Structure 1
Amino acid sequence: MNLLDIRNLSIELVSGNKPILAVDRVSLCMKEGEVRGLVGESGSGKSLLAQAIVGVLDDKWQVDADRFHWRGTDLLRLSLEERKAIISKDVAMIFQEPMACLDPTTTIGEQLEEAVDSRQLSGYFWQKRQQRKAAAIKLLHKVGIKHHEFCIRSYPHQLTEALCQRVMIAIALATRPVLLIADEPTAAMESSNQGQIFRLLASLNQLKNMSILLISHDLENVTHWTNTITVMYSGQFVEAGTTEQIFNRPFHPYTRALVDSSPKANMLLPAKSRLMTLPGSIPILQHLPIGCRLGPRCPRAQQACVQAPKVKNHHGHQVSCHYSLKDTY
């Protein structure tokens, strides 16, 4: 049984006279213990999809899906309160900018203690206070912050971005989630700090069997840490499969372009040569192309691309394209 099973999820922005379809019928499945990458350019709808799963989108966004199952339970049939009770217990999310997400007026220790699940505590209220503090320290140790004294009494602005990201992960782990969603967890970090964060997430997956949805715009970076990858473009599903399939034999022209823009896939190129890029840029929400949204930029686009392509499944390797690269290999 799938841990998370989403079919044809759409997210509309209700603004003005005409709603804008920001995410168009995207499907996503995750199994227990899986590390799945969700890849695409900025503006492709990755963060919107993650926020829809967690349930933190505000009223201007309307979410609809053919199926939205969590461990076999249809969340769409539940009330908002029942859905939040399940998701807040089993799913946690790490956001892009840890400095902006942490409360600047409260110490790290107080924020960690507040995040500790009350169900883990027992005894009288004064005993629970000590238990909360001990749990907060244990969480810091779990994410690799051994010298917790300085961190606990510090405010977010007194810590480095890498430390703040570790604190965000500690807060996310406080509820002992089954699924951890990491939205660009290493954005704007130095490469050494990026490696530390990714190794930490990998250890959580291996030791706790925690499922992780790793969101990134960098396909090459994600391939080192994931089992499977889903690719999105401008709010549409593009391709999904194992990491090896996506990186070594991509079927979609957009995925092929992402791979070709990676230095790892172009080791034989002469020094200082240009990497392959698609012409143009990702469309804005107010002016989305009809049919396949990659059409205006796609080197294989033809007349049929004015209709949205259906998803085709090739032994677990899914692609949404009228003229896929499957037969070119």
Structure 2
Amino acid sequence: MNLLDVKNLSITLQSTAEPILAVDRVSLSIKEGEFRGLVGESGSGKSLLAKAIMGVLDDKWKVEADRFHWQGIDLLRLTEEERKKIITRDVAIIFQEPMSCLDPTNTIGEQIEEAIDSKQLSGYFWQKAQQRRKAAIKLLHKVGIKKHTLVAKSYPHQLTTTLCQRVMIAMALARRPKLLIADEPTASMEPANQAQIFRLLASLNQLKSMSVLLISHELDKISHWTDNLTVMYSGQFVEAGTTAQIFKTPFHPYTKALIASTPTPQKQWQKKARLETLPGTIPVLQHLPIGCRLGPRCPNARKKCVTAPQIRSYHGHQVSCHFSHKDEY
């Protein structure tokens, strides 16, 4: 069963001039217990999509979709208050800058205790306070923090970025969500610490059957942990399938470029050789190309690319490209 089922979601920036279509008809589905990766360059709209799912975008952004279901419930038919109640109960998000998301005026223990749902507690108010403290300690242990006493009494600025990220995960787990969205959770971390966070997310997925949406711009780092991948470019859907499918037979030129630019031990690199990259850069929102937005950088671009391609499916492997096979060039 699909936990989340979004079809043709668009996000428009209501600017003073013309509206800007930042995310263009992107579809995404996540099953129970699934570990899905969402990849693309910075500026691809990945974080916007995550914030739209959480319903935390401000009034300057307009969100539309053909379908926006959570466990079969059509969220578009609900009021904003009803939708917020469901999402905050079942979905949690970890942002890429934990230091900016934690309250600098409260200790870590106070912030985790506040995040614990009152429905998990019972008894009189003094009993509930003790239960909150025990639950907070348990959460700190669950995310791999052994020195819970020291961390609980500390303020965010007294901890490392890695510890703060673990605290953010603990706060996200406090409400026992069914879906955890991790938006660049290892940004600015050392490789060893990155691996620890990824292993933690993988264990939560396997042991707790918690669905995880892992967002990153580094395809190689998340490919070892995810079951399925969705690739975005400049606010458009590019390709989706199992991680094995995408790495074995990437159909879209952008996905091929991402994989080709990833150094691996199997590749024979000459000394000072350049990595394979697409020419140009990702377009800014104010100057988006029409049709397929990869067109100006795509090695297979043709006249037909000025119209947006339809999504094709090859045994569950989806791609949005007019020329996904060589015989179509």
Q: TM-score range by the shorter chain?
A: over 0.9
Q: Following TM superposition, by how much is the alpha carbon of 1:317 offset from its aligned partner in structure 2, in angstroms? A: 0.3
SS in 1 for 2:2: coil
* Residues 82-101 of structure 1 aligned to structure 2 (within 5 Å): 82-101=82-101
- Change beyond 3 A, Cα 1:195–1:71: same
User: 2:270: which partner in 1?
Assistant: 270
String of CA shifts for 1:236-293, please: whole Å, max 9, x gaps.
0000000011112100000000000000286222243111001100000000000000
Matches within 5 A, 1:107-122: 107-122=107-122
Supply the distance in 1 between the matched residues of 2:105 and 2:325 (Cα, whole angstroms).
Answer: 53
Q: Tell me the equivalent position of 1:145.
A: 145
Query: What is the CA-CA distance between 1:206 and the residue it aligns to?
Result: 0.6
The answer for the alignment partner of 2:19 in structure 1 is 19
User: Map of 1:72-83 to 2, 5 A cutoff?
Assistant: 72-83=72-83
Name the aligned partner's letter for residue 137 of structure 1.
Answer: I
> Which residue matches 1:130?
130
Q: Distance in 2 between matches of 1:327 and 1:255?
A: 18
- 2:199 is the counterpart of 1:192: no
Aligned structure 1 segments of 4 or more residues deviating by more than 4 angstroms: none
Instruction: State the alpha-carbon separation in 1 of the partners of residues 199 and 326 from structure 2.
Output: 33
Provide the identity percentage.
73
Question: Which residue in 2 is equivalent to 1:230?
Answer: 230
Partner of 1:4: 4
The secondary structure found in structure 2 opposite 1:244 is helix
Question: Counterparts of 1:16-95 in structure 2 under 5 Å?
Answer: 16-95=16-95
Distance 1:266 1:203 in 2: 28
Separation in structure 2 between the aligned mates of residue 265 and residue 295 of structure 1, nearest angstrom: 31
Deviation at 1:299, TM superposition (A): 0.5
| Distance in structure 1 (CA, Å) of the matches to 2:214 and 2:271 | 31
Alignment-mate amino acid for residue 181 of structure 2: I
What is the CA–CA distance in structure 2 between the aligned matches of 1:28 and 1:266, rounded to whole Å? 32
Go from structure 1 to structure 2 and tell me whether the alpha carbon gap of 1:135 and 1:304 turns closer, same or farther (over 3 Å shift). Answer: same
The 8 Å contact of residues 253 and 325 in structure 1, kept in 2 or not, is answered as no
The 1-side partners of 2:283 and 2:273 are apart by 27
Shift of 1:327: 5.5
Partner Cα distance (2:191, 2:201) in 1: 15
| Offset at residue 2 of structure 1 (A) | 1.0
Q: Deviations over 1:31-69 (max 9, x none)?
A: 100000000000000000000001110111000000000
| Cα RMSD (Å) | 1.1
3-state secondary structure, aligned to 2:264: helix
Give the direction of change, closer, same or farther, for the CA distance of 1:79–1:316 in structure 2 (3 Å limit): same
SS at match of 1:63: strand
Give the TM-score, by structure 2 length: 0.98
1:38 is aligned with what amino acid? L
Structure 1: which 5+ runs fail to align? none
What is the CA deviation profile of residues 126-159 of structure 1, one whole-angstrom value per residue up to 9, with x for unaligned ones?
Answer: 1111111111111000000011011001000100
